[in-house]
Chain A
Amino acid sequence: MLIAMKVKAAMLAGALAAPILATAFAPNDPREQEGVLRLLPISFSYRAAGDFSKDGRPVEGPLRKLSLPADLVVMKRQVTVGEYARCVDEGACPRSGGSTGPQDVPVVGVSWHDASAYAAWLSRKTGITHRLPTDEEWTFAAAEKARDEAMPLVDPSDPAQAWIARYETESARARPAATAAQPGGTFGTNSNGLDDLAGNIWEWTDSCFLRVSLDGGRERITNTNCGVRVVQGAHRSYMTDFIRDPRSGGCAAGVPPTNLGFRLVVEPSQPVVTAVARSVAKLLRRT
């Protein structure tokens, strides 16, 4: 029932908020001023993550119009090697696979646990709550870079047709030209002003894997597996939380997430109205 409730709250909030995109800046915090954006909640299209079934048959996750309940303050870029290294140096983050090399490229080779440790550390350091985004938040922030990849459904009476179709879809995915993490901005900026979405790094979200029944028109979560989290990038994927270096092979085909990295969202730290006013002022200065 959680999802349904969230939707109602979100829709209400969405109706109240004006569809303005703006840059946020928290006073006295140069890092935030440089590094984060405030997105106002406008309505967006969202395909629920997880495995859905109706009357014992697999179905697509429902596609809905959502609005986030409040502004989303989110990092413009993924957390870098240098930023993550400071957390490692203070003994608050595990050393990651991708922590060597240039300091200004995004950190990769991080697990959900590593990313969560960084968020907790940064929250303590700044006094501002930082956390991983939910899948809904990531999809909203990614805007046109989010990909709703509908996969063929498995018919239990003849599952092989869907397996072959899925296999072909997965096999057809393009592999990134470069596998190493690239300097921030390499993969462009989206309409919300965020950099490098859906490049060669998949980003951890905080959303757990759900199995959901849609029987009788009701939405019922039958299993929540938080050992598996949603990762987002050029396609949505589900990843065991301690994995740092994803791969395919064996029975699976297709292109696994090339790298695992992350960006964080910031719990709103100032009234929405102030932020909007400041942002509008800043936008005006720019033009």
Chain B
Amino acid sequence: MLTRRTALMGAAIAALMMTAPAVAGPADDLKLPRKKVELVAPPFVHAHEQATKTGPKIVEFKLTIREKEVVIDPAGTKFHAMTFDGSMPGPMMVLHEGDYMELTLVNPATNSMPHNIDLHSATGALGGGALTHVNPGEQVVLRWKATRPGVFVYHCAPEGMIPWHVVSGMHGTVMVLPRDGLKDADGKALRYDKIFYIGENELYVPKDANGKYKTYETIGESYGDTMEVMRKLIPSHVVFNGSVGSLTGKNALTAKVGETVMLVHSQANRDTRPHLIGGHGDYVWEAGKFNNPPQKDLETWFIRGGSAGAALYTFREPGVYAYVNHNLIEAVELGATAHIKVEGKWNEDLMKQVTPPGPIPPDKVGAADPVAVTR
């Protein structure tokens, strides 16, 4: 408990020193129209225009920080998460280049720790981190201008505890779209019918002497042991959207043949390499920044730790697709897998099983002993 209290005090003092005085009501120095957005939990994204004819505006968002216990795998392993708005990752916030985001960050009194937000899409003050420290029972309003189009990570960055807050779930994505929409290398407009938002997050859950995952009464009590596991850099889980199986089985994503899906993949801490098994990336912004032309026809793309990337794919065959971190150990053993069920008509031109599995002809290498075969 000493560790936790010391950590809390340190951060609280830092927060008191650095937080600007609270402003009553929204700033009105910019004479711009305002728009309020209701956020949607991942893997989905709030309704938005892909291109807009209107001028810049102030887009209002509110993120409420929730510290809560969650279950992270089918075995029922419990974990004290810290979240933006209750989900891992936090919700995606979409605006257009030239817009201003006015973000209200709320830290309810029921939480135990100070928090803040560093938006990689914002310029100055540690991405807003230095201006947004809020203790339990406080809120802060930050405005920043969206000057660069792309998908960007946001995360909590409290003094001394940054990695712990991030790998405990406090990360999300901002998408700044070009006002005239996405384009390929030749300037041709690109659109998507659906957007799936994947936040990858590795977890470092301590184990007891018998190899069983440990549980803790409070998040503070988990701090020391968790830091010890984190420093060894070997995660216990690598998950999409907060838990093993969060996007598989009954939670699988759905699409149709002919639909174009945008897959946004965000990892706030560690490198990853998404791959769509049986499909491709038609257009991929691997580094996630839309002023660079998208790469075409990728098999696997690289998401640097601390960044988000985006891929467009139009489904051509029906079936069940696995979207994985193609470190397959992390995908299969540790959880980094999503499934997409795609309805539609099978295209035999793209693939056909010419001969079903059957015996190798007797005179060929590898043929089974005929006696054994016909026993």
Contact = CB atoms under 8 A, between A and B. Distances in A.
B74 A250 contact: no
Contacts of B342: 160
A47 interface: no
How would you classify the secondary structure of chain B's contact residues: helix, strand, loop or mixed? Answer: loop
B333 A249 contact: yes
A167 B277 CA distance: 16
A213 B356 CA distance: 11
Given A175-B74, A221-B375, A249-B331, A163 B249 contact: no
Interface in B302-355: 317-320, 322, 324, 328, 331-333, 335, 337, 339, 341-346, 348, 352-353
Interface stretch (A84-92, A151-159, A274-282): A151-159
B319 A160 contact: yes
Contacts of A163: 319-320
A175 B252 CA distance: 17
A182 B317 CA distance: 44
Given A160-B319, A163-B320, A221-B374, A253 B346 contact: no
A101 to B, nearest CB: 9
Contacts of B372: 224
B249 A253 contact: yes
Contact of B373 (A168, A223, A254): A223
A51 B358 CA distance: 11
B359 interface: yes
Contacts of B345: 158
A2 interface: yes
B328 A253 contact: no
Given A160-B317, A222-B373, A223-B368, A250 B322 contact: yes
A224 B375 contact: yes
A57 to B, nearest CB: 8
B357 interface: yes
Interface residues on B, range: 35 or more
Interface in A216-236: 220-224
Contacts of A1: 374
A147 interface: no
A58 B356 CA distance: 9
A253 B320 contact: yes
The 6 residue pairs across chains A and B that have the minimum distance between CB atoms: A160-B318, A171-B249, A160-B319, A250-B332, A158-B346, A249-B332
Given A161-B318, A223-B358, A250-B322, 16 more contacts: A1-B374, A156-B352, A158-B318, A158-B345, A159-B319, A161-B346, A164-B320, A171-B249, A172-B250, A213-B358, A221-B375, A223-B373, A247-B333, A249-B333, A250-B337, A253-B252
29 contacts: A51-B357, A53-B356, A56-B356, A58-B356, A156-B352, A157-B348, A158-B345, A158-B346, A159-B346, A159-B353, A161-B318, A164-B343, A170-B249, A171-B249, A171-B250, A171-B252, A172-B250, A175-B74, A179-B75, A179-B76, A221-B374, A223-B359, A224-B372, A247-B332, A249-B335, A250-B324, A251-B320, A251-B322, A253-B248
Interface of A: 1-2, 51, 53, 56, 58, 100, 156-161, 163-164, 167-168, 170-172, 175, 179, 211, 213, 220-224, 247, 249-251, 253-254
